[in-house]
Structure 1
Amino acid sequence: MPDGAVLVGGVLYVIEKKYQAGAGSVDEKLQTCHFKKRQYERLVAPLKLRIEFYYLLNDWFRKPEYRDVLEYIEEVGCRYFFKEIPLAEPGLGL
């Protein structure tokens, strides 16, 4: 289950929060966004919803060693944000 989800029109925005203060298992979980997005797409296929998968991260993940995984997240069609997601992202802004 995601940490949060927002339905706007025909798009379901799935949000997972990942916070870390030291080395640990969250590092590897970031690499699973494509699989998770695909699972949600299959789950909502009968509803004809599009899935957008977002990570909400803390500043720990701004370190240079996370550059590759952050690039990968975007390459596979997912997104990430630090601390907050702008309302304009899920179509809620003006």
Structure 2
Amino acid sequence: MRRINTVGGGAQTNVNGLEFEARTHLIDAINNHPEFSVLENQVFKNGEIVAHYYEKHGLYKKLLQSRGIDYSNYISKKLLPDGALLVDNTIYIIEKKFQNGAGSVDEKLQTCDFKRKQYVKLFSPIDINVQFYYVLNDWFNQPSNRDVFEYIRSVGCDYFFEELPLNRLGLE
């Protein structure tokens, strides 16, 4: 007898993940903030551009290629961030993870060190610093993930539940 997947992963990844991603879309959150406005991928505060936003392949097409960077000269495979915000000379890479039952997504959290190091290699030729953040749904906020959370922070990455404070993005 086949059991229906109600916890995410597998065939339910897009159904559950897209809903969570829609609720946690960074550019919408910034645009809804009274001090900021967004036009295309540019973030404005008091009429001045303070950041640029990129997603997935846009990071490569709109940012790296425009600065003469061919990713394949630095890393072997593209990493496709859910969001990337360039503020001054720091890029904030945002990965969103949704889970509501046991599965492999919680194991993927342990890849943050590798991904951060890949982004560091990619951005070092143009002197851009890298911050790597996870935005997680509340399911992850449980004692069984304590060791993973300690690891994430020990390697210079960070995580947040359901939302990402704008002050952690250099947008104070």
TM-score (norm 2): 0.53
AA aligned to 2:139 is W
Alignment of 1:1-94 (within 5 A): 1-93=80-172
CA drift of 1:58 comes to 0.7
Identify unmatched segments of 5+ residues in structure 1: none
Question: What is the distance in 2 between the residues matched to 1:62 and 1:85?
Answer: 15
Aligned length: 93
Aligned to 1:88, what secondary structure does the other structure show?
helix
CA RMSD for the aligned pairs? Answer: 0.6
Q: Percent identity?
A: 60
Question: What is the distance in 2 between the residues matched to 1:35 and 1:3?
Answer: 16
Determine which structure has greater relative contact order: mean sequence separation of CA pairs < 8 Å that are 6+ residues apart, divided by chain length.
1
TM-score (norm 1): 0.96
Question: What is the distance in 1 between the residues matched to 2:117 and 2:166?
Answer: 24
Identify unmatched segments of 5+ residues in structure 2: 1-79
AA aligned to 2:132 is F
Highest CA radius of gyration, 1 or 2? 2
CA deviations 1:63-90 (Å, max 9, x no partner) are 1100110010000000100111111111
CA drift of 1:31 comes to 0.3
Question: What is the distance in 2 between the residues matched to 1:28 and 1:82?
Answer: 17
Question: What is the distance in 1 between the residues matched to 2:141 and 2:121?
Answer: 31
Q: Moved runs in structure 1, 4+ residues, more than 6 A?
A: none
Aligned to 1:34, what secondary structure does the other structure show?
helix
Question: What is the distance in 1 between the residues matched to 2:167 and 2:123?
Answer: 23
